[in-house]
Every structure is written in C-alpha cells, then in structure tokens.
A and B are shown apart, each in its own frame.
Chain A
Amino acid sequence: KQEVTQIPAALSVPEGENLVLNCSFTDSAIYNLQWFRQDPGKGLTSLLLIQSSQREQTSGRLNASLDKSSGRSTLYIAASQPGDSATYLCAVPGGAQKLVFGQGTRLTINP
C-alpha cells in the first residue's frame, strides 16, 4: 500500500529565502508525482507534474525533482514571496485511478 510522507509539517521563513519541501513515498513503482498548492478553505491547484521518466520539472520559481529509486521528491521554491504562503501537497498514483496524498507542508513566508 502506497504511503506518502511530507516533511516538515510546517515551515516559516522570511521573504526572499530559497526553500525546499520534501516528499517521500514507499512504493517506487509510480507513473508520476504531482505537487499541489492548497490555500485555506480552498481547492487544490496543481503546480507541477513530473513523469516517471523525468528527473525535474520547472515552472517559474518552482522546481520539482523526482528520484524514484529512493522514493523521494523535492519542491524547491526560489526567492520566496508572501503570496507563496499556503499548504503544499504531494501526491502519487496509488492505483489505476486514484492519487495518494501526503499530509502537506504548511508554508508561511514572513514579509
């Protein structure tokens, strides 16, 4: 059974810092991995999807890496801004039709 873990559970940094969020998964036989952003009381916004054949995916100030063999992914946020404050979730396929989510990292960027 696929399990996804994210550390840290919460992170608070000053504006402008670069930061790394971590995600680990127990079953490395995955097709892809997605990173989502969740704002309080809101839905999930897909940020990046990395296919199993890729090692990295970039979108603006966000860079996600995937190491299937070690069961790990990282989300790197460059030059953080207060608007980046949110909960970041990673998710991997846990079967043909479903995603298994981590518990998220709650990120606060202080002005």
Chain B
Amino acid sequence: EPEVTQTPSHQVTQMGQEVILRCVPISNHLYFYWYRQILGQKVEFLVSFYNNEISEKSEIFDDQFSVERPDGSNFTLKIRSTKLEDSAMYFCASSLDRGDGEKLFFGSGTQLSVL
C-alpha cells in the first residue's frame, strides 16, 4: 500500500540552527500538509500546500517556517532558526483531494529535538 515517508526519523539540533525535514507524499496525491505534536499535547496543523503554493497556514507557521516542493516527489519543511519550543514530532500528510473531504495519509513523523 502506498505510504507517506519522512526522513529523518529523529533530528537533534542546536538552538538557532536551520533544519530541513523531508517528506515523500503518496505519488498521485495533490495536497500536502505539515502537522506537529509537542509532547503531551494535541496534534496541531501547521500548513497546507497545493499547486506549488501555500493554501492555508496556522498562527504557528511564522516567518521562521517555510515549505517547498523542490521536485516532483519531495515536500520539505524548513525551520530557519530553531527555538527550544520547536521541539516536537513533525508529521507530513498528503491527500488526493482537499483535506476537508478526503482521508489524510500521515507519515511516521520526524522527532525534532532542539537543545
């Protein structure tokens, strides 16, 4: 069965460093998302991406964050200058159609630890 893959599974970085989290969505999907889950808290929406542009973003997704689809298969989340509070599990997801009517398929996540 097709799946969303994320790399790396764990990322440790120093505060202030840039990190790039990588995702390969399901090949025929058109909508891509990033969510995060801080330990012990709810899964939170960060951003959605369609047709090579951001279609919706949350208040969390400030200027420190950016997303890109550099080629036909990868979808990346970049955090320019990491903060301690960015430590979380980051999930990539994709769907064939808009998220409000379609099932989302999630990757297994990247655990980001900012020291």
Contact = CB atoms under 8 A, between A and B. Distances in A.
A44 interface: yes
Given A44-B91, A97-B56, A98-B58, A49 B103 contact: yes
Given A34-B103, A42-B109, 9 more contacts: A31-B101, A43-B91, A43-B107, A46-B104, A95-B100, A97-B55, A98-B56, A99-B104, A103-B42
A95 B35 CA distance: 14
Interface string A86-97: 000101011111
Contact of A44 (B43, B48, B58): B43
Interface string B29-68: 0010101000001111100101000011010000000000
A32 interface: yes
B108 A97 contact: no
Interface of B: 4, 6, 31, 33, 35, 41-45, 48, 50, 55-56, 58, 89, 91, 93, 98-101, 103-109, 111
Nearest to B93: A44
The 8 closest A-B pairs by CB, nearest first: A97-B48, A43-B108, A98-B45, A97-B56, A93-B100, A44-B106, A101-B43, A43-B106
B100 A96 contact: yes
Contacts of A96: 55-56, 98-100
A94 B46 CA distance: 12
A45 interface: yes
A20 B101 CA distance: 25
